[in-house]
Structure 1
Amino acid sequence: MNIESFIEHEKIKGELYNLCKFNRLPTGILLLGPEGCGNLKLGIKFLKKLLKIDILAHPDIHFIFPLPNPSSKLTDYFYKKWHNFLVNQPYGSFLDWKQKIHSENKDCKIYLEQVEDAFKMINFKSYELSHKVVIFWMLEHLNLNAGNKLLNVLDSPPKRVLFLFIGENEKLILPTLKSRLLIIKLKLISKKMIEKYLILKFNLSKKQAQNIVSVSECNLNTVFKILTNQNETNHLNINFIFWMRMLFNLKHKIDALLIWCSQINDWNRDKKKSFLLFSLEIFRIAHRYKYEKNYINPFFNYQNFNWKQFCRYINTKKVSLINHLISDVIKGIDRYYFFLFNFLDLSFNLNQILFNQIN
């Protein structure tokens, strides 16, 4: 059994394949859908069928993707990163890509220089394929100069050249560009489809599959992150439980809290942020669970943690305060403030908010 049996959009896949079969290919196709819907994966599969090839590392195929600055020529470094991303994170997000190229804090765009390089390539005779193909990933991050250049080419397109665009946010894509493309809109895969796939492929129980789908909200990028980071998730779960237990009985656990906070302080910056973001998500889930008893329990495998009892300490006002406090600590990490003091202060504040009757 393979994943395509479940998560591909069968109706849309049929529409794309009919374009191949009846030779009705437009110059430009935009696969538009939210993060985790599988539009890049579907586009790649379509191209492989159209071009009758198994891999996309080919001289007749040119990828364009956001980069940190216009002087970032498409060197071997970026291409290696990109092809690794395609293989290992075909449902990956824009943020995942920025992290992969170590540009989390930079404004990555598709620049005019990249578009011009692609157009030089398509002016040469095809190496062996029926079409030259240019694939734009994250079309909404096309800068204005690059967009104007692209419009000119689409108005007088070269023969036997296909432009495939992948995008998520329709509002950020130039209307003049959209008007020149065949737009195919995708939605997130249904809960039942993903649950069925997880149960059959990974031998999960129905409850485990439901929890993963609920946490991910049907975002395939998140689904596969959960599956591939089970050890990390377990590590975060255990530390969160340990933290809450210390805060519940803080009067007698201050020494243990100081030792544990010192251990957290030794983590690298990304790990600290991951733990705090994870904790924020747990508080959000607990708040929703309080009012919707059939909602997910992220600690269903931890029999020594009373999730229902924990949720009784959560309410809207508390979650709002907690969100503000944790967000401030995360900002402090980015600004290299002294984490240990900030985290200790956060712990004492959470103790007051959660367990000392702040309503």
Structure 2
Amino acid sequence: MLFKDIIGHKEVINKLIQTVKDNRVSHAQLILGPEGSGKLALAIAYSRYLNCEDKQFFKENHPSGLIGDSCGNCRSCIKFNKLIHPDLHFVFPNATTKKITKNNFSDNFLSEWREFLIEKSYYVSLNEWFEKLGIENKQGSINVRDCNEINRILSFKTYESEYKIMIIWMVEKLYHSAAPKILKILEEPPENTLFLLISENHDQILPTILSRTQLIKLLKVKDNEIIEKLSKNYQIDDKTTQFIASHADGNYAEALRLLNNTDEEKFNTDLLINWLRACFKGSVNEVNTKNGSIEGLNTLVATFAKIGREKQKSFLNYVLKISRYCVLINYNQSNLVKLSFDESKFIANFYKFINAQNIEAVSEELNKAIYHIERNANPNILFMDVSLKMHKLLNNKY
């Protein structure tokens, strides 16, 4: 991953290059941004540049829009291609699996991690990583063993490059009880050691971690940048490219998922439509109507219980997004709404049931459900409860 391979963020990249040029590299930096914005890609490209043996500095108005980049050919760059540089280290959320049944920590999964990043072009999501691990219903975290390993690794000198770099992906998943183990080294790291912390949720990071880092903020990727990248890398027609970019909503990881997983996308859309219809009817068992049958809540709740906690949270966030779109349509702001054909067809008749009067309560119930999933609530009880509450809200019985 070179700087030139990152989608957008030229201004941020150039500022980082300038800090290297001026020898003003901060020892602990937090890269914050939404999913699919390129945080991890930026961290890896930055790490590569710092340890490149032939750093490139470009003149003004370079075609790339950058003021520099890694050479791509030196010994260090070649190792970065495969993420096997001995001075590049990763910590990321993990859990026990069928293969690793106890004492799990990030190093157990390094080969899967490298394969995952390269396979996904460094634009990844937490859900996809947990699917890769096969952790099923468990919730991944960065644990005490990970923190002990951070201290152990960073106690050694660099092997062959100027900087030893520790990338902590999704630092908000750090166990609160584990955090004290890395606070001292985060504040006073060994010489030529760089921490790059990556997060999607500023509010979930411990204040003691935040106060020790310099913030780098990334925004969503622009639609035209996603279109340009997809057109360059994949042989797909303009209509499909534009649809994917529009539906991805600035998330390139989502764009790649839409490109490669149309069956999964259809499953989520069908589940959304069936669930909202069932919530509106409020029937526990299947209902027959003039337009066909509607699945009962019992069947749908059983489906939710099988898909795992991360997918459950992802689905509820999807419902939140669709709910917001319904409100926008109610206010004649359809130009701000990005929907697939199947979603549009459903929302055209459903949008009036989620409006300014109930959107706050709908959002509150969905967010509460996400909160309880994170705390290991029983999915059968939780989804039946939120379904019945949605029934009341959709029918103005609140």
Please list the CA deviations of residues 251-300 of structure 1 after superposition, one character each: whole Å capped at 9, or x if unmatched. Answer: 655985579x9799789822995878766754553443232132336343
**Is the contact between residue 95 and residue 141 of structure 2 (CA under 8 Å) also seen in structure 1?**
yes
**Is the contact between residue 301 and residue 380 of structure 2 (CA under 8 Å) also seen in structure 1?**
no
Q: Does 1:186 align with 2:227?
A: no
Q: Aligned AA for 1:45?
A: A
Q: Which of 146, 150, 158 pairs up with 1:118?
A: 150
Q: Which of 282, 300, 305 pairs up with 2:341?
A: 300
Secondary structure at 1:37's aligned position in 2?
Answer: coil
CA distance in 2, matches of 1:151, 1:240: 43
- The equivalent residue for 2:87 is 60
CA distance in 1, matches of 2:356, 2:90: 46
Alignment of 1:8-27 (within 5 A): 8-27=8-27
- The equivalent residue for 2:57 is none
Please list the CA deviations of residues 168-190 of structure 1 after superposition, one character each: whole Å capped at 9, or x if unmatched. Answer: 33344444544443332222223
Please list the CA deviations of residues 82-135 of structure 1 after superposition, one character each: whole Å capped at 9, or x if unmatched. Answer: 323323443334454445441654462342x32332332233343333332222
Please list the CA deviations of residues 23-76 of structure 1 after superposition, one character each: whole Å capped at 9, or x if unmatched. Answer: 44333232233333211110101112222322322333221223449x734376
CA distance in 2, matches of 1:41, 1:94: 14
CA distance in 2, matches of 1:243, 1:176: 41
**Is the contact between residue 37 and residue 219 of structure 1 (CA under 8 Å) also seen in structure 2?**
yes
Secondary structure at 1:158's aligned position in 2?
Answer: coil
- The equivalent residue for 2:141 is 108
- The equivalent residue for 1:78 is 109
Secondary structure at 1:11's aligned position in 2?
Answer: helix
| TM-score of the superposed pair, with normalisation by structure 1 | 0.70
**Is the contact between residue 28 and residue 197 of structure 2 (CA under 8 Å) also seen in structure 1?**
yes
CA distance in 2, matches of 1:314, 1:229: 29
Q: List alignment gaps of at least 5 residues for structure 1.
A: none
Alignment of 1:1-359 (within 5 A): 4=4, 7-51=7-51, 52-53=76-77, 54-68=81-95, 72-74=103-105, 77-89=108-120, 90-101=122-133, 102=135, 104-106=137-139, 108-111=141-144, 113-144=145-176, 146-198=178-230, 201-202=233-234, 203-205=236-238, 209=242, 211-237=243-269, 252-253=289-290, 256-257=293-294, 269-270=306-307, 281-282=321-322, 284-291=324-331, 292-296=333-337, 298-300=339-341, 305=345, 308-309=348-349, 311=351, 315-316=355-356, 335=378, 337=380
My pick for the range that moved more, 261-270 or 287-296, is 261-270
Q: Aligned AA for 1:63?
A: F
CA distance in 2, matches of 1:94, 1:177: 21
Q: Aligned AA for 1:289?
A: I
Q: 1:313 to 1:127 in 2, by over 3 A?
A: closer
Cα deviation for residue 13 of structure 1 reads 1.2
Q: Aligned AA for 1:60?
A: D
My pick for the range that moved more, 323-332 or 176-185, is 323-332
Q: Aligned AA for 2:82?
A: I
Cα deviation for residue 11 of structure 1 reads 1.5
**Is the contact between residue 39 and residue 166 of structure 1 (CA under 8 Å) also seen in structure 2?**
yes
The count of residues paired between Structure 1 and Structure 2 equals 348
CA distance in 1, matches of 2:381, 2:187: 55
Q: Aligned AA for 2:111?
A: K
- The equivalent residue for 2:73 is none
**Is the contact between residue 65 and residue 110 of structure 1 (CA under 8 Å) also seen in structure 2?**
no
Counting aligned pairs with the same residue, the percent is 27
Q: 1:124 to 1:279 in 2, by over 3 A?
A: closer
| TM-score of the superposed pair, with normalisation by structure 2 | 0.64
Q: Aligned AA for 2:141?
A: C
**Bigger fraction of residues in helix:** 1
Secondary structure at 1:135's aligned position in 2?
Answer: strand
Please list the CA deviations of residues 129-166 of structure 1 after superposition, one character each: whole Å capped at 9, or x if unmatched. Answer: 33322222223333456443433224543223222222
Q: Aligned AA for 1:81?
A: E
